[in-house]
Structure formats: structure tokens, C-alpha cells
């Protein structure tokens, strides 16, 4: 078998299936070992306990899938055609750009499985596809495979497409030729992502304290969001894109070619009050097949309540919170009730401040 020809075929198959680039690397991830172990020792992973399990397999791909000698790393862009505007409209809910369409795990895994089948047909061997479904260090793998570098915000970057892309991998026992290109880090002295982070979660270049990250707080965290961090979350109800939105490299991000990533249910422009009216049945129906299913209905309500507490005072919003509170009391969901009460106090406080301000203004204008 001509493995160089096969590598070219794999790239052709990937591009035909909608991937934007692939790279091939060996399985030596020893260069990432010290940094990853230190991150765990600092407890920056918070309650993501899966990050501390199977560490040896994560750092040694051949331990995860015996016989693996090469890893194919595939990149697929997901940037929507136009930038989001609802971050500047606090009455609207903001959902991270990657999560408003079909779940990328499903999209990429299906396509990678097709490539793996074509590889088996062409050359035999054993091939296994992953998309966030196992202990895989996808970003260091992508960096070694020549798909970019890891930026100061810890996301994979590419000079032509920025950071709006998903990654998937195929572990194979075929000794394919590795990609000879390497993209050196090009962040330079820029610290825009560090400075813009609403919760100061990027504690240094390439160092993320996930316990403060809004993506962690709104997705990975199952319990109560620390009260001191809630005001900084703003209207973000699932994830956060601030470090990407500010990045100069993302000015060049091309729009995705994948139709499955198109926004569903107008979730890039929904008012917080409207989403609070969703029942659990509506939540499950409207998020079917989406990455939003990474959180449950209780977390969804918790996140919306925080966003509501950070929104401008509005009677309709407060009434939606009151109705949702009754529902959560009936469900014995103490966490959600506490977050709703916090939001109502915030809205009432804003109203009281506005009333005092209006009164003072009237008194000053009276002769």
C-alpha cells in the first residue's frame, strides 16, 4: 500500500465531507505532559473530574487505543455568516456561537466514521474516531498535526481562520506519513483575550482557571453559580465567546460551509423572558440534537435566572421569573429558586435605584 497516496486520499475524502483541513501526527504527546499535570494539580479543572481520570491514556494515545501509531486531526469551521449582536442587548439571551445549531459531536463523528470506513476498505487496519468522546488531548494533537497553535486563551488558532473551528480525530495503526508543516504561535504581545475575560478566568498566557470561566459556570458546573461571579456573566446563558470575539485573528474567520451549523429556533436573538416561559418539554423538544443538551432543564433555568438578574428592569421579565419560581418550587428545585430570588432582588434593586434617580432629577429641575 502506498501510504503517501493514502494520506492524500484521506485529505480528499475529508474535504469532500466538509472538513476544512486535516493533519497527521505521531502519538508522542510528552511535551504536553508537564503542563497538563500542573493544571490538574492547581485544581483549575474544578468539578470536571473526568479530566483527572485516565491521565496516562490521555497523554499516551497508544494506551487509549492499543496499536495506534498515527493520529489524523481534522478541522471544521463553524463561524456563522454574521457576527452576534445580542451581547450588546442585555434583554436577549446569548448562546455561544458553536451551540446554536446541530450538535457538532454528531456532525463530526458521523463524517469521521465515514473516513475510517474508507480507510479500512482501502488499506485494512484499525481506525477509531473521536470527537470529545474519550480522554484525548485534541488541541496539542492538532498543534502537532500542523493545524495551528494554542493561543493565550488556550483555544486552537489558525492564521487564516482564527479559532472558530471544531476538532475531531481518527486513531489508526497505519504508519501514515506525518504532516511536515508547523505553525508557530502568532499571538505576539497581544493580551486582548486575557484583558477582555469578564471573570478574569485567563490567569496568564495559556493558563485558564476553568472555575471562573463562564463556559464552565454555565455548562460544566451542576450546582449553584458563585454569587460574586453572577453579575459578570451578563446575558450569557450557555458558554462565552468574549475571548474569541476580541481576537484579531478572528477578523479573518470564514463562514462555515456546514448547513447543520445554521442557527435553530432563532436562538441568536431570543429574549430572556421568552426563554423563561419554556416548559421542560419545550426545552427538550427545542434543543433536540443540539449541544445545548449538555445542560439539563435545571441548569438552563439557573442560567436564564442569572441573565435575567443582569438585564434591564422589565415587568414582563419579572413576571416570567415569578411564574418560573412557582414551577421550581413545585419541582422542589431549591437551586433554581435561589437563583430566581437573586434575580428578582436584582431587578427590584435596579427599579429602586431608577426611582431614586428619577426623583432626584425631578427635584433638581423644580424651581
> Would you please indicate which residues are annotated as catalytic (active-site) residues?
132
Q: Cell triple for residue 101?
A: 445549531
Nearest to 220 by CA among 192, 201, 243, 246: 201
Q: Cell match 428592569: residue?
A: 313
- Alpha carbon distance 352, 367 (integer Å): 25
Nearest to 129 by CA among 74, 166, 174: 74
Q: How many residues does the chain have?
A: 367
C-alpha dist (Å) from residue 83 to 45, 80, 241, 250, 268:
30, 7, 11, 11, 10
Phi-psi region at 197: left, alpha or beta (left = phi > 0; alpha = psi -120 to 50): beta
SS3 22: strand
* Contacts by 196-199, CB closer than 8 A, 24 or more apart: 196/242, 196/243, 196/245, 196/246, 197/153, 197/242, 197/243, 198/232, 198/233, 198/234, 198/240, 198/242, 199/229, 199/232, 199/233
- Alpha carbon distance 328, 281 (integer Å): 14
Q: Cell triple for residue 62?
A: 497508544
SS3 282: helix
C-alpha dist (Å) from residue 334 to 123, 221, 277, 299:
57, 16, 19, 12
- Alpha carbon distance 43, 233 (integer Å): 22
Amino acid at each position: 500500500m502506498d501510504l503517501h497516496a493514502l494520506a492524500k486520499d484521506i485529505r480528499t475524502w475529508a474535504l469532500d465531507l466538509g472538513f476544512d483541513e486535516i493533519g497527521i501526527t505521531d502519538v508522542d504527546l510528552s511535551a504536553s505532559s508537564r503542563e497538563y499535570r500542573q493544571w490538574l494539580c492547581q485544581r483549575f479543572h474544578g468539578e470536571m473530574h473526568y479530566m483527572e481520570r485516565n491521565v496516562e491514556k490521555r497523554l499516551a494515545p497508544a494506551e487509549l487505543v492499543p496499536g495506534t501509531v498515527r493520529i489524523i486531526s481534522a478541522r471544521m469551521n463553524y463561524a456563522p455568516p454574521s457576527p452576534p449582536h445580542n451581547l450588546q442587548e442585555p434583554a436577549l439571551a446569548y448562546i455561544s456561537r458553536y451551540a446554536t445549531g446541530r450538535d457538532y459531536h454528531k456532525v463530526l463523528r458521523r463524517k469521521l466514521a465515514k473516513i475510517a470506513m474508507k480507510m479500512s476498505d482501502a488499506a485494512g487496519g484499525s481506525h477509531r474516531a473521536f470527537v470529545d468522546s474519550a480522554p484525548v488531548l485534541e488541541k496539542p494533537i492538532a498543534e502537532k498535526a500542523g493545524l495551528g497553535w494554542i493561543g493565550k486563551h488556550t483555544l486552537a488558532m489558525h492564521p487564516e481562520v482564527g479559532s472558530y473551528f471544531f476538532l475531531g480525530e481518527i486513531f489508526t495503526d497505519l504508519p501514515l506519513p506525518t504532516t511536515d508543516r508547523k505553525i508557530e504561535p502568532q499571538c505576539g504581545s497581544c493580551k486582548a483575550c486575557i484583558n477582555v475575560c469578564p471573570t478574569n478566568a485567563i490567569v496568564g498566557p495559556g493558563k485558564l482557571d476553568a472555575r471562573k470561566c463562564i463556559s464552565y459556570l454555565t455548562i460544566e458546573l451542576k450546582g449553584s453559580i458563585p454569587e460574586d461571579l453572577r453579575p459578570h456573566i451578563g446575558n450569557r446563558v450557555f458558554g462565552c465567546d468574549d475571548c474569541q470575539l476580541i481576537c484579531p485573528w478572528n477578523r479573518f474567520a470564514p463562514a462555515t460551509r456546514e448547513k447543520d451549523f445554521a442557527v435553530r429556533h432563532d436562538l441568536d436573538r431570543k429574549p430572556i423572558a421568552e426563554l423563561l416561559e419554556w416548559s421542560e418539554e419545550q426545552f427538550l423538544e427545542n434543543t433536540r440534537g443540539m449541544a445545548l443538551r449538555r445542560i439539563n432543564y435545571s441548569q438552563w433555568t439557573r442560567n436564564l435566572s442569572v441573565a435575567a438578574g443582569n438585564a434591564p428592569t422589565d415587568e414582563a421579565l419579572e413576571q416570567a421569573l415569578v411564574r418560573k419560581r412557582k414551577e421550581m418550587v413545585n419541582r422542589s428545585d431549591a437551586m433554581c429558586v435561589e437563583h430566581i430570588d437573586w434575580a428578582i432582588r436584582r431587578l427590584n434593586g435596579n427599579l429602586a435605584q431608577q426611582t431614586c434617580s428619577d426623583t432626584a432629577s425631578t427635584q433638581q429641575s423644580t424651581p
